């Protein structure tokens, strides 16, 4: 039996409406969009609990800002942020609070490597993936965390030490004439452990005179205390290896206040300062001015990297357990255009008044 024209028209409208709904469902977002990874009862937003160890440096502040900018309400997230103020007990309390709030993911930037087994076991029992950023954790069972993303701190130290070796060779400076001190970061943190180990190994390899190791806690104020103590006890220091930029700025203040000049010409009495991060604007300006000779980059922008991990997890994919960030070497002089380490060439990015605009931060 034939249908009348109004009935046919209604059927056509219904078909078109169905096709429009289908197209909207398929084409509105790309495969990695937040709408595709909503879960746990159809929440409007994905809830991420982030325990940040503190705000001891410009690197840490940039790391926090990267996380906050990615995990925003505009991007479909609810971020529960906690500043631990450099205390592991505060971080453990925060993680337990995240578990009670039934967050979808926990992100942890740990103060130190040890002491995490119990609370991470609680997160695992609750079925909440834990993503470690920056510093690592030393646990009895690596299944207690999903994955880690951050820097190879030992490699960073080796690259800066290799840059110094190339520079000393080019300037005809003998190894026995290098009297170097290490201003360490927070003792027990992954960055401190890696950078100190890389430094010690390379200093031993090249036969440099390691005068002292002093903790600087990655802060300007603590590094100033350490440098004052070193100057009181030693009068032959000509190189200062600072484990981050904030320490380097404190060291420079102390050296200049003591009537010394910071620079790479150690043969003529200057004191070479090297450091890590490359995020602090004052430190990069000091690099351009020649007060800091070399900076090993430590990239803090982990927000997009963590979001990429969350997208994979939500799709049922398994991310790499350890994800290292590629990083550069910054210098204020073109004396060393590149270095070779482990059979790989690392080009040196030179900053001066003309090229400072290339600074990535």
Say if 19 falls within a structural domain.
Answer: no
- Asked whether residue 27 is assigned to any structural domain, the reply reads no
Helices (H), 101-152: 117-125
* Residue whose structure tokens are 């080796």: 158
Q: Which residues contact 221 (CB under 8 A, 6 or more apart)?
A: 250
- One domain for residues 274 and 339: yes
Within 10 angstroms of residue 155's Cβ, the number of other Cβ atoms is 19
- Reported as a single tens digit per residue, the pLDDT across 157-187 is 999 999 999 999 999 999 999 999 999 999 9
256 vs 181, 238, 288, 305, CA distance in Å?
17, 13, 17, 40
Number of domains in the chain: 2
Q: Is there a single domain that holds both residue 51 and residue 184?
A: no
Residue 168 and residue 182 in contact, taking contact as beta carbons nearer than 8 Å: no
- Report the predicted TM-score, pTM, of the whole model to 2 decimal places: 0.83
Q: Is residue 170 part of a domain?
A: yes
pLDDT the model gives residue 7: 41
Query: In the sheet that 46-52 helps form, which strands lie side by side, from edge to edge?
Result: 77-83, 46-52, 105-108, 130-133, 147-150, 322-324
| Co-location of 340 and 195 in the same domain | yes
CA distances from 48 to 13, 15, 63 (A): 43, 41, 16
- pLDDT < 70 regions, the chain: 1-43
- Residue 59 domain-assigned? yes
| 42 part of a folded domain | yes
Residue 23 lies in a domain: no
Q: b/e per residue, 230-253, with b = 16+ CB within 10 A?
A: bbeeeeebbbbbbbbbbbbbbbbe
Q: Tell me, what's the pLDDT at 76?
A: 95
- The C-alpha atoms of residue 243 and residue 283 are separated, in whole angstroms, by 13
Same domain assignment for residues 243 and 348: yes
State whether 103 and 190 are in the same domain.
no
* 67 lies in the same domain as 132: yes
198 with 276, same domain? yes
Closest CA to 327 of 197, 152, 179, 209: 152
Assign residue 192 the CATH number of its domain.
3.40.50.2300
Say which DSSP state 317 is in: P
Domain contains 13: no
The answer on 58 and 134 residing in a single domain is yes
How deeply is 70 buried, as exposed, middle or buried, from its count of CB atoms within 10 A (0-12, 13-18, 19+)? buried
Do 272 and 174 belong to one domain? yes
Q: Which domain holds residue 198?
A: 153-298+328-358
**Which of left, alpha, beta for 269 (phi over 0: left; psi -120 to 50: alpha)?**
left
Is 68 a domain residue?
yes
Cα 155 from Cα 159, distance rounded (Å): 6
Verify that 318 and 281 share a domain, yes or no: no
Q: Are 122 and 158 in a shared domain?
A: no
**Is residue 163 located within the same domain as residue 283?**
yes
């Amino acid at each position: 039996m034939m249908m009348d024209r109004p009935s046919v028209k209604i059927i056509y409208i219904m078909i078109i409406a169905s096709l429009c709904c289908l197209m909207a469902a398929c084409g509105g977002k790309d495969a990695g969009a937040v709408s595709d990874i909503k879960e746990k009862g159809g929440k409007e937003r994905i809830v991420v609990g982030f325990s940040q160890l503190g705000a001891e440096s410009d690197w840490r502040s940039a790391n926090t800002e990267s996380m906050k900018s990615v995990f925003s309400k505009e991007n479909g997230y609810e971020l529960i942020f906690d500043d631990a103020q450099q205390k592991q007990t505060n971080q453990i309390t925060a993680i337990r609070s995240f578990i009670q709030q039934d967050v979808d993911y926990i992100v942890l930037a740990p103060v130190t490597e040890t002491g995490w087994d119990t609370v991470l076991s609680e997160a695992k029992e609750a079925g909440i993936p834990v993503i470690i950023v920056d510093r690592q954790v030393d646990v009895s069972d690596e299944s207690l965390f999903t994955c880690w993303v951050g820097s190879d701190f030992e490699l960073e130290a080796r690259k800066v030490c290799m840059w110094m070796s190339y520079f000393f060779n080019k300037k005809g400076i003998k190894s026995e004439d290098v009297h170097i001190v290490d201003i360490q970061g927070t003792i027990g943190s992954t960055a401190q452990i890696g950078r100190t180990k890389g430094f010690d190994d390379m200093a031993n390899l090249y036969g440099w005179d390691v005068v002292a190791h002093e903790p600087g806690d990655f802060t300007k104020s603590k590094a100033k205390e350490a440098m004052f103590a070193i100057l009181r006890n030693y009068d032959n220091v000509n190189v200062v290896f600072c484990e981050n930029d904030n320490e380097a700025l404190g060291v420079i203040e102390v050296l200049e206040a003591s009537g010394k000049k910071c620079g790479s010409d150690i043969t003529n009495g200057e004191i070479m300062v090297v450091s890590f991060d490359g995020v602090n604007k004052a430190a990069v300006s000091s690099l351009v001015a020649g007060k800091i000779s070399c900076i090993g980059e430590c990239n803090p922008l982990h927000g997009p990297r963590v979001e990429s991990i969350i997208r994979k997890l939500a799709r049922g994919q398994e991310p790499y357990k350890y994800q290292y960030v590629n990083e550069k070497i910054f210098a204020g002089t073109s004396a060393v255009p590149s270095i070779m380490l482990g059979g790989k060439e690392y080009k040196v990015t030179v900053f001066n008044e003309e090229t400072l605009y290339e600074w990535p931060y």
